[in-house]
Amino acid sequence: MRKLMMAAAIALPMFGTAAIAQETVKIAYIDPLSGGGASIGEIGLKTFQFLAEELNAKGGVLGKKVEIVAFDNKTNPQESLIQAQKAIDQGIRILTQGNGSSVAGALSDFVTKYNERNPGKEVLYFNYAAVDPVLTNDKCSFWHFRWDANSDIKMEALTNYMKTATAIKNVYLINQDYSFGHSVRTAAKSMLAAKRPDIKIVGDELHPLLKITDFAPYIAKIKASGADTVVTGNWGQDFALLLKAAADAGLKVSWYTYYAGGTGGPTAVKQANLNHQVFQVGEGIANLDNKPSQEFEKALRAKYDFSLFYPRAVNQMRMLAAAADKAKSIDPVKVALALEGMEFDVFNGGKGSMRKDDHQFFQPIYISSLGDRTEKEPFDEEKTGWGWKLIAKIDTAQTMLPTTCKMERPK
């Protein structure tokens, strides 16, 4: 009898833990929480935690509480795989990551191979920000879904606007030396050549990712080149420090960017006094005339001291809930099948859809500039007094580029 009681005492806590686990949908957030990417990684984590709270306030996912579990990958592909395995060992079956396409490529490959070896224990990888086009082209995976527009889609939109800016004559390209940075420079050169053959590329620079602390030598090259415009995919500290060096050197050019709105970016733009000279392409801004997204923005800013930089993360989490509801399950295979082809009212307004062929999400794309605000722009950024102003909108249908994906689907 004593042995039976001891066995029961051991079994009950274990049963309780399993029951709690079944009542929780855990999502592993694998992004930098230390090192050069930590500032933007921390904002991403808090954003996802805020979104989990939003879902939980509405009953969670199929009545289960949503929890974000943080794993620090230090923006390193190898470390990311270690953290992914730790998450899986804890029973987590949904991974999300965004900062660094080199990390994204490693994770997509890891998840695909893991699922091949472990049928019935599949894992999904939700990509909210890594935009190397190859991830939904030649290296696509059934287990990978991307909610951000890939870099070719963004460059298509950006260069369509740039071709109308007749003041642009000399362009300097500066990008981070990894897969995403390479895709930005390649697309910029080919698209500008096709749309504005009169534009000269007067510089094409690559630099180490998140390792440069002083961009003064790079700014000196830009000044010497005679460039009137810079195109960059830099993100995180690599954008903020680049603009800081530009301010210190008094460089006055136009900037066409992907991620000027990231941590420290708006502050650097204001310090450089580049009033509506810095342009950004993305899936939304705070100052769009859309009441639901503006209400969300107010709530987020009331809790945290930052603005929403990831509208795509909102779409991702809300679509997860919709897919689980459609599938009546949180099983990864069933959720994946429910997501394929899903049409969705996106965060900033309008229709979006998850293409079945390659798992690339399509949505309206916006081009905006940062500077002085009017009554139409109620939100500023980083307490600078400056805010994003809408310059152009590209409807969903005009963002759809073809894919080379030949997806292997589970049997």
pLDDT in tens, 111-162: 999 999 999 999 999 999 999 999 999 999 999 999 999 999 999 999 999 9
Indicate whether 250 and 335 sit together in one domain. Answer: no
Q: Has residue 387 been placed in a domain?
A: no
Indicate whether 302 and 325 sit together in one domain. Answer: yes
Contacts 24+ apart (CB under 8 A), 161-167: 161/279, 161/367, 161/391, 161/392, 162/192, 162/195, 162/196, 162/229, 162/256, 163/192, 163/195, 163/196, 165/254, 167/228, 167/254
Q: Has residue 397 been placed in a domain?
A: no
pLDDT computed for residue 112 by the predictor? 98
Q: Has residue 376 been placed in a domain?
A: no
Centroid of chain to Cα 343: 20
pLDDT at residue 12 above 60? no
Indicate whether 277 and 301 sit together in one domain. Answer: no
Indicate whether 142 and 166 sit together in one domain. Answer: no
Domain count, the chain: 2
pLDDT computed for residue 23 by the predictor? 81
pLDDT computed for residue 306 by the predictor? 96
pLDDT at residue 81 above 50? yes
Indicate whether 300 and 264 sit together in one domain. Answer: no
The whole-angstrom separation of Cα 77 and Cα 63 is: 34
pLDDT at residue 3 above 60? no
pLDDT computed for residue 320 by the predictor? 98
- Token pair for residue 270? 């204001």
Which of these three, 215, 249, 282, is where a domain ends?
282
Query: What is the pLDDT confidence band of residue 13, given thresholds at 50, 70 and 90?
Result: very low
pLDDT at residue 22 above 80? no
Q: Has residue 167 been placed in a domain?
A: yes
Q: Has residue 302 been placed in a domain?
A: yes
Reported as a single tens digit per residue, the pLDDT across 247-280 is 999 999 999 999 999 999 999 999 999 999 999 9
pLDDT at residue 208 above 80? yes
pLDDT computed for residue 16 by the predictor? 39
The pLDDT of 100-104, averaged and rounded, is: 96
Indicate whether 123 and 40 sit together in one domain. Answer: yes
With a pLDDT cut of 70, the percent of the chain lying above it is 95
Indicate whether 248 and 181 sit together in one domain. Answer: yes
Indicate whether 238 and 325 sit together in one domain. Answer: no
pTM: 0.92
Q: Has residue 317 been placed in a domain?
A: yes
pLDDT at residue 15 above 90? no
Q: Has residue 219 been placed in a domain?
A: yes
The pLDDT of 46-56, averaged and rounded, is: 98
**229-232 and 254-257 strand pairing:** parallel
Which of these three, 362, 379, 396, is where a domain ends?
362
Indicate whether 60 and 140 sit together in one domain. Answer: yes
Q: Has residue 26 been placed in a domain?
A: yes
CATH number for the domain spanning 322: value is: 3.40.50.2300
Which of these three, 227, 248, 282, is where a domain ends?
282
Indicate whether 332 and 240 sit together in one domain. Answer: no
Query: What is the pLDDT confidence band of residue 353, given thresholds at 50, 70 and 90?
Result: very high
Query: What is the pLDDT confidence band of residue 411, given thresholds at 50, 70 and 90?
Result: confident
Range of the domain at 188: 152-282
- Closest C-alpha to 229, from 192, 261, 264: 192
The whole-angstrom separation of Cα 95 and Cα 384 is: 35
Greater model confidence, 14 or 396 = 396
